[in-house]
């Protein structure tokens, strides 16, 4: 309910978030939100630019008395991850997000909330609109397509931005100040096969559905031991590999989301049905026990369906299931230099088998470029051994930590003063922030990342903490007042 959200404090922030969330803005389909942001800047009478790839830049002069401070860039991305529950009827292309308040949290009804990175965007909008918030010369940079390729940051040319300091508002823990992040690369394995027609005599078909998993951010939550529906489904199918033929698999959705659901259609001899069901039910119970703490709502459902027209050849099926079993998923290496930081990981995000085509999509992340490519090549070799063609795409660099950052030295004491002496957690994160990419064309820019508490990003459980947003807003205003002199 929009009115309920708009009544929250700070109202300037939540009102802009409500305005933004009324605009459909899934990744790769940002035309409406680009126009929305351009209209916003122009209606304020501010210099507003759309660059060649669709990023929007809005410039606002310094407030009185702040003209001698270093110019800053405040940056967030316009797009959001579009995920919904299977039983939720929602069209991300046409509908705004349906939000509600649940205690200290803002949530969405069955979909992602868009707080990642909508709260950052709303923060900048509120500052651009205000005539009372003190700030130096300000450039607002709203990038596109952060979630599925970083193409906005990659396409931003050098020389457009004039700021000395960049404040990236895309961190999801309010006690954290980000000084580094992981890079990433998309890995796609494909293979065609000639489907085999099956005789209906003495044959049956069933559907297996893995569901009820939490899902989540494939970088920030990759170390939590959450279930991956594609790996669980593959484990089930592998246990009965000799007695089944696979007609279809549809598992996962987006590369940057830990997959929550997978569905497979199988064909088998009717006289094997009881044995197969016993094996699958027994293994399902074993897997549920393994995940009972992290995934209490995990379900594996079996149901009879009509016979499909065709199935995979057995040799292709065997090679695929073995490759998916062998392919690494989860943490690959922890950082030797930064305590508790995941250095390198992989998410087996998408598995599709249908109409003579196989497609497996992964996202490999690392803060070390050589380690990223080591894991990428290991996955490439695994899938090539299964007869797949493997493509690398969308590679982007990490952001190397700078512990001598001048703006970091400003922000730490402000945080401590506002929080009764509590020290912030200064850290790198295992997620893809745009700072590393932007730094390629702006190597002298001092960059930092921070934000409010957002939980469950990239899943329909995404939620933003109201009290944390208040804490974060106060932090933002104090930082702006204390930007050092040029």
Active site residues: 79, 146
User: Is residue 427 within 8 Å of residue 178, measured between CB atoms?
Assistant: yes
Provide the token pair at 260.
């929550």
Cα separation, 463 vs 103, whole angstroms: 11
What DSSP designation does 399 have? B
3-state DSSP assignment of residue 343: strand
User: Is residue 145 within 8 Å of residue 27, measured between CB atoms?
Assistant: yes
3-state DSSP assignment of residue 401: coil
Provide the token pair at 236.
């089930």
* Phi-psi group of 140: left, alpha or beta (phi > 0 → left; psi -120 to 50 → alpha; rest → beta): beta
Q: Which residues pair with 399 in a beta bridge?
A: 181
C-alpha separations of 109 from 1, 90, 114 in Å = 10, 10, 12
3-state DSSP assignment of residue 360: strand
* C-alpha dihedral sign at 417, 423, 428, 429: negative
The angle that helices 115-129 and 11-21 make with each other, rounded to 10 degrees, is 120
Provide the token pair at 389.
């063609």
Cα separation, 165 vs 19, whole angstroms: 28
Q: What is the separation, in whole angstroms, between the first and last Cα of the chain?
A: 44
Q: Estimate the share of the chain in helix, then strand, then coil, as percent rounded to the nearest 5.
A: 30, 30, 40
User: Is residue 119 within 8 Å of residue 451, measured between CB atoms?
Assistant: yes
Cα separation, 279 vs 270, whole angstroms: 15
Cα separation, 340 vs 126, whole angstroms: 35
Cα 322–chain centre separation: 28
């Amino acid at each position: 309910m929009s009115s309920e959200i708009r009544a929250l404090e700070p109202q300037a922030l939540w009102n802009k978030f409500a305005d933004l969330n009324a605009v459909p803005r899934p990744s790769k389909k940002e035309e409406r939100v680009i126009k929305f942001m351009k209209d916003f800047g122009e209606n304020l009478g501010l210099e507003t630019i759309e660059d060649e790839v669709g990023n929007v830049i809005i410039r606002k002069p310094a407030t009185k008395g702040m003209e001698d401070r270093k110019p800053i860039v405040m940056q967030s991305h316009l797009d959001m991850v579009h995920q919904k529950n299977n039983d939720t009827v929602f069209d991300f292309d046409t509908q705004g997000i349906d939000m509600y308040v649940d205690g200290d949290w803002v949530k969405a009804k069955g979909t992602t909330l868009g707080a990642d990175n909508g709260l950052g965007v709303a923060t900048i909008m509120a500052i651009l609109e205000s005539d009372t918030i003190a700030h130096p010369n300000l450039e607002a940079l709203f990038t596109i397509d952060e979630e599925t390729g970083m193409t906005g940051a990659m396409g931003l040319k050098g020389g457009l931005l004039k700021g000395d300091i960049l404040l990236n508002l895309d961190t999801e823990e309010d006690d954290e100040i980000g000084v580094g992040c992981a890079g990433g690369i998309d890995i796609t394995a494909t293979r065609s096969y000639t489907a085999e027609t099956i005789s209906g005599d003495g044959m049956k078909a069933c559907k297996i559905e893995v569901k009820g998993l939490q899902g989540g951010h494939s970088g920030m939550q990759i170390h939590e031991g959450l279930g991956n529906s594609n790996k669980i489904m593959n484990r089930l199918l592998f246990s009965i590999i000799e007695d089944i033929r696979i007609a279809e698999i549809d598992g996962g959705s987006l590369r940057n989301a830990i997959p929550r659901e997978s569905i497979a259609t199988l064909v088998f001899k009717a006289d094997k049905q009881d044995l197969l069901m016993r094996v699958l039910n027994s293994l399902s119970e074993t897997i549920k026990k393994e995940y009972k703490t992290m995934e209490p709502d995990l379900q594996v459902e079996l149901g009879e369906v009509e016979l499909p027209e065709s199935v995979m050849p057995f040799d292709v099926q065997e090679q695929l299931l073995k490759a998916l079993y062998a392919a690494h998923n989860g943490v690959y290496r922890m950082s030797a230099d930064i305590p508790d930081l995941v250095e390198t990981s992989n998410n087996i995000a998408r598995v599709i088998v249908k109409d003579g085509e196989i497609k497996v999509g992964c996202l490999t992340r690392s803060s070390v470029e050589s380690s990223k490519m080591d894991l990428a090549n290991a996955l490439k070799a695994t899938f090539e051994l299964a007869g797949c063609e493997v493509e690398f795409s969308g590679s982007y660099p990490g952001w190397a930590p700078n512990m001598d950052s001048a703006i970091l030295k400003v922000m730490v004491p402000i945080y401590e003063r506002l929080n009764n002496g509590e020290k912030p957690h200064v850290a790198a994160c295992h997620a893809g922030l745009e700072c590393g990419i932007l730094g390629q064309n702006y190597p002298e820019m001092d960059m930092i990342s921070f934000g409010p508490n957002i939980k469950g990003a990239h899943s329909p459980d995404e939620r933003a903490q109201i009290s944390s947003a208040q804490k974060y807003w106060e932090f933002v205003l104090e930082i702006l007042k204390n930007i050092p002199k040029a």
